[in-house]
Structure 1
Amino acid sequence: MNAGRRSLPQLLGEARRWFDDALLAALEADGAEQVSSTQLQLFAVLDERGTTVSELARRMGVTRQTAHKAVHTLVTMGLLEQVPHPSSARQLLIRRTPAGRRAHERATQVLGALERTLAERIGGRSVSELRAVLELPWGEPPEPPGPAG
């Protein structure tokens, strides 16, 4: 890797933080309760019909305990609820409450405005190309290389 050149994961992380920071600021300006980046991410990967904590953790790339903690906080805030899983007596589905759906709709509006702002800054074509590249199937992560030597 070139010295001083940021890696692609660093650049993607910075881009993600740009959106998260702006979204959190907009929600705070709206008077919404403060949430963390992890809680934002959880909202983003949640299915409309409900999702198990284990599946949320997998989609977020975090531990089950981290996902559970985020769910618990959002349940306490009244944004999520836990309901019985229709095909498993041992599992619960996590889904948005009416207040959670309103918050999700507002976040979607803000993200659309942020995408338009980004297009004004770097060009609509660049944003479209970025989206197209990120939507390509990357496949499973590759196996780690063998030991150097």
Structure 2
Amino acid sequence: MTEPASNLPLLLAGAKRWFDDALTASMRAAGEQPLTSAQGQVFAFLDPEGTTVAELARRLGVTRQTAHQAVHGLLALGLLEQVPDPASARNRLIRITAEGARVHHRAQATLTVIEGALADRIGKEAAAALRHALTLPRGEPPVVEAP
């Protein structure tokens, strides 16, 4: 029996998992403490001056509790720090530490090499086309009726 082709969201999730696994294994091989995918995503959404956990949760598309758990793991590793929010006495800002910046830069450089490995495997043109397609504007998510 032939299996139906995976839908695009499953294919994209599989591709992301491939990158996550390659990054985790590469960072571990380099002697770095491996981070979860959620922890790694936190770095992409932090403002240089700091970001509240509530804003991080919104940007990540997760609950505050989930964002809080990711942040606390990174605080414990010394990759993030909490500082008072000058705009609000009630809030605290989450910022990257010097060690966090070092690890983040290493991860970004590693991802560049992993992208190169993917381009070697699927072809440079296919990799460039994939990157281009994923950067095109998609607009608001559509609301559709199934046939």
TM-score by length of 2: 0.90
Residue 143 (str. 1) matches residue 143 (str. 2): yes
Corresponding residue for 1:39? 39
Corresponding residue for 1:95? 95
Q: Deviations over 1:105-129 (max 9, x none)?
A: 0001100001111111111111111
**Separation (CA, whole Å) in 1 of partners of 2:144 and 2:53:** 28
Corresponding residue for 1:16? 16
Q: What SS does the aligned partner of 1:90 have?
A: strand
**Separation (CA, whole Å) in 2 of partners of 1:91 and 1:83:** 9
Residue 4 (str. 1) matches residue 4 (str. 2): yes
Deviation at 1:91, TM superposition (A): 1.9
Q: What SS does the aligned partner of 2:95 have?
A: strand
Structure 2 matches for 1:66-85, cutoff 5 A?
Answer: 66-85=66-85
* Cα distance change of structure 1 residues 128 and 107 upon mapping to structure 2, 3 Å threshold: same
Deviates more, 1:84-93 or 1:72-81: 84-93
Runs ≥4 in structure 1, deviation > 4 angstroms? none
Q: What is the letter of the counterpart of residue 63 of structure 1?
A: T
Q: Which has the higher contact order (CA 8 A, sep 6+)?
A: 2
Structure 2: state its 5+ residue gaps: none
Deviation at 1:89, TM superposition (A): 2.2
**Separation (CA, whole Å) in 2 of partners of 1:53 and 1:34:** 22
Deviation at 1:144, TM superposition (A): 5.5
Residue 129 (str. 1) matches residue 95 (str. 2): no
Q: What is the letter of the counterpart of residue 66 of structure 1?
A: T
Residue 113 (str. 1) matches residue 116 (str. 2): no
**Separation (CA, whole Å) in 2 of partners of 1:32 and 1:99:** 11
Structure 1: state its 5+ residue gaps: none
Q: Deviations over 1:41-86 (max 9, x none)?
A: 2223223332221222122221110010110110011000111223
TM-score by length of 1: 0.88
Q: What SS does the aligned partner of 2:50 have?
A: coil
Q: How many percent identity over aligned positions? A: 55
**Separation (CA, whole Å) in 2 of partners of 1:47 and 1:123:** 35
**Separation (CA, whole Å) in 2 of partners of 1:82 and 1:41:** 18
- Coordinate RMSD, CA, aligned: 1.7
